């Protein structure tokens, strides 16, 4: 993704533990279902976990995910944002970065059933 693709947009980085697990699948599908609203709000959504690119590809195909999934296999991106990992799995946290490039909000605790709606509300406010 080129930096120019982010110009004037919100960047939402959502970190999650593992592809194809119940909570992570529920969260990803909720973001998928909110995709039109997120696009209309000028959001670039990126999901990150320590899973491989191949795992991400299958996960995205299985659930028709329209957004980017990034493999943070060594946890370097998560570490840069203060997202902890346990036994190689990232904590479920989300970072919302505004169009100005500044962190707008950090979710250190996430309820997967409500999270996509929270993000939509945040980027629209």
Out of 11, 12, 13, 24, pick the active-site residue.
24
Q: How many whole angstroms separate alpha carbon 45 and alpha carbon 105? A: 14
100-109 per-residue burial string, b: 16 or more CB within 10 A, e: under 16:
eeeebeebee
Q: How many whole angstroms separate alpha carbon 57 and alpha carbon 71? A: 10
- Whether 24 is a known active-site residue: answer yes
- Which residue shows structure tokens 């004037």? 8
CB atoms closer than 10 angstroms to residue 10: 21
Which residues are part of the catalytic machinery? Answer: 24
């Amino acid at each position: 993704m080129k930096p120019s693709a982010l110009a004037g947009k919100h960047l939402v980085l959502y970190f999650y533990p593992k592809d194809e697990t119940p909570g992570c699948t529920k969260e990803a599908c909720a973001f998928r279902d909110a995709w039109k609203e997120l696009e209309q709000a000028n959001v670039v959504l990126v999901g990150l976990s320590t899973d491989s690119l191949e795992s991400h590809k299958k996960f995205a195909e299985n659930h028709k995910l329209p957004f980017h999934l990034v493999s943070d296999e060594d946890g370097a991106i998560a570490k840069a944002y203060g997202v902890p990992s346990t036994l190689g799995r990232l904590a479920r946290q989300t970072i919302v970065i505004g169009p100005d490039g500044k962190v707008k909000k950090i979710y250190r605790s996430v309820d997967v059933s409500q999270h996509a709606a929270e993000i939509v509300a945040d980027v629209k406010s």
